[in-house]
Amino acid sequence: MSRFLISRILKWLAFAVLGATMLTGLALVALEVSRSLPPHRYHPLGIYYEAIGLPVHPFLPVEGDRQVSLEVWSADWPVRRSQELSYAESIRNIVYELQRAYPGVSMKYRLFPLEEDLPSRVLESIKTSELPDIYIGPFTPDLLAGQRSIALTAFWGRNARPTCDTIALAYVTMDRDVWAWPIWIEIPGLVGNKTLLGKLGADIAGILTAGWTWEEFIQLARKASAMSGAAAARGQENGGRGSDGIYGLVINEGDPTWFEYLLSARSPAMLVKGDGTPGLDRQGLLDVAGFLEELRKDHIVPPPEMRASHRMLELFWQGKAMTIGPAWPGLVRHARERSIKSPSGPVRPVLLPFPRHPASPYSVPVRVYAGYIYRQLADDWRERARLAADALARIAHDANTIWLMARLGVVPADLGERYYWQDEARLSYEENAFIAYSTRVPATPAATRCQRELYNKMLAGVITPALREFWDGRISREQLMEMIERGARDLLYPCDNASH
């Protein structure tokens, strides 16, 4: 190679290196500049804004020396991050991060012990107008404070939404507005005795994949009852005292959601039709009554005089109950912790879906925990609301919240966060299968507030009391239907009736 060529090559190399360095420097400067500029369309945490035509401007930073203090109400969950660090102490990180983003903003977390019924407290506060900026709790339309509640739709553009689970989003959406930020979902089920189910020949993997029908459940429960045979019969003769046979199902009958599951297991929209008109699925109610009658036969459930629900856990851990429930996350957590402590115990728990009617797709009403934003009675309410939405996004995505969700046994509403939650929760194959099955065809709530209120009124005021009377054997099937139809006539009205 000639010297001229070599020198040429070296010169171009030098130019290339110099050019690359300059470009890198420019890129870094551009990045730094872009960070200091207010975001135009995308928030780093995934809140998508549209700048035009919103009552709350999403981008303006807190100006000057103004100090804003946001108040957050939440339950003080009974979990400890470590021996020294309680849940209350571990959320300081969220406060710190918000203060780093907005130096003029502080956040005051007010944690209420579980002994204090926080939703009731919020309901009282709605009456007295002393509301926090943010409340995190189970979503229910009752906790919307009319003009004081701020719809989060303002912060989510029409074409862009956070990566939220559709189930959770459906629960917090009414009249086409999103009224709270979904944080996690609680999915109920039954806790089954895997050891016993194996002896009965149950296909647990199949149940977790395709569910089980009422008939399949009853067949297994009858087999379980037959296993104990004479003991169960003696127990029945003795009024259930000192029995103890093996029961297919021990239910916490005091849980009002038990009857709601039955209705959902028969038909997802039993009480209010899809178009909002009230209606009762008579055949569906009859099927539910028939299932309850089957459960009472053949000692599938303990007799009422035994008050078995007061010994539910004892019966389960002694291997005398095939399934117990309803299993909300608290009960699931207990089962998990106990099985971890005694992995080689005689009873191995497994989380199972509720059995369903063969003609129905499986659906179960879930519970969604979400963050509400309330408008404050101050001139700067718009700015506070915007900051509250920002804070809520941070809370939903914080590592402490993910850790909390793993400990409480609930499922994150954000699909992106589930990835991190999986690492933290370390679910078993069966638990993952249960979640996948339960969220496949969820019970979708009504789309309007009127419909939801009707549904809740019917369920709490008419259906549940009537089914309870029937379950306790005080009324017949015909009386049950009459009671429900009479209640529906008094209570239901079309949702487009302006007078309501």
Q: Does 255 bind other proteins (CB under 8 A)?
A: yes
Interface pick for other proteins out of 333, 348, 457, 477 (rule CB under 8 A) = 333
The reply to whether 19 sits near other proteins by the rule CB under 8 A is: no
Scanning 107-115, 198-206, 434-442, 492-500 for contacts with other proteins by CB under 8 A, the matching segment is 107-115
Q: Contacting other proteins (CB under 8 A), which of 25, 61, 103, 113?
A: 113
111 sits near other proteins (criterion: CB under 8 A)? no
Q: Name which of 284 and 325 has its Cβ closer to other proteins.
A: 325
85, 89, 97, 108, 386 from 92: Cα distances, Å: 11, 6, 9, 10, 21
Q: How far is the CB of 374 from other proteins (least distance, A)?
A: 25
Span of 45-53, 72-80, 234-242, 420-428 interacting with other proteins by CB under 8 A: 72-80
Q: Could you give the CA distance from residue 494 to residue 497 in angstroms, rounded to a whole number?
A: 6
Name the nearest CA neighbour of 141 among 372, 404, 477.
372
Q: How far is the CB of 113 from other proteins (least distance, A)?
A: 5
| 468 in contact with other proteins (CB under 8 A) | no
312 binds other proteins (CB under 8 A): yes
Sequence-ordered list of residues with C-beta below 8 angstroms from that of 468, at least 6 positions apart, any chain: 253, 259
Cβ proximity to other proteins, 272 vs 332, nearer residue? 332
Total residues at interface with other proteins (CB under 8 A): 32
* Dihedral of the alpha carbons of 4, 9, 10, 11, in degrees to the nearest 10: 90
**Binding span for other proteins by CB under 8 A among 35-43, 291-299, 305-313, 343-351:** 305-313
Does residue 328 bind other proteins (CB under 8 A)?
A: yes
Other beta carbons within 10 Å of 82: 8
The answer to whether 81 contacts other proteins (rule: CB under 8 A) is no
What residues between 335 and 374 interact with other proteins by CB under 8 A? 338, 341
79 binds other proteins (CB under 8 A): yes
314 binds other proteins per the rule CB under 8 A? yes
Residues 233-252 that bind other proteins (CB under 8 A): 252
254 near other proteins, rule: CB under 8 A = yes
409 binds other proteins (CB under 8 A): no
Residue 45 or 88 with smaller CB distance to other proteins: 88
Give min distance, CB of 251 to other proteins, in A. Answer: 10
Side chain identity at residue 40, one-letter code: H
Q: How far is CA 166 from CA 170, 242, 307, 415, in A?
A: 6, 48, 40, 10
Tell me the window of 66-74, 286-294, 329-337, 459-467 that interacts with other proteins (CB under 8 A). 329-337
Q: Which is nearer to other proteins, 240 or 284 (CB)?
A: 240
Distance, in Å, from the CA atom of 464 to the CA atom of 253, rounded to the nearest integer, reads: 11
Q: Does 115 bind other proteins (CB under 8 A)?
A: yes
For residue 65, the tally of other CB atoms under 10 A from its CB is 7
* Nearest CA-CA partner of 169 in 358, 421, 370: 370
Q: Which of 330, 345, 358, 473 binds other proteins (CB under 8 A)?
A: 330
What secondary structure does DSSP assign to 345-370, as a single string?
SS--EEEEPPPB-TTS------EEEE
Minimum CB–partner distance for residue 212 and other proteins (Å): 21
Q: What is the DSSP string of 214-283?
A: HHHHHHHHHHHHHHHTHHHHHHHHTTTTT----EEEEE-TT-THHHHHHHHHH-S-SSB-TTS-B---HH
Classify each residue of 35-50 as buried b or exposed e, where b means 16 or more C-beta atoms within 10 Å of its C-beta.
eeeeeeeebeebbbbe
Q: Name the percent of the chain in helix, strand, coil, to the closest 5.
A: 50, 15, 35
Cα angle 180, 166, 447 (rounded to 5 degrees) comes to 65
Q: In the set 8, 11, 41, 80, which binds other proteins (CB under 8 A)?
A: 80
Residues that bind other proteins (CB under 8 A): 76-80, 86-87, 113-116, 252-255, 309-314, 317, 325-328, 330-331, 333-334, 338, 341
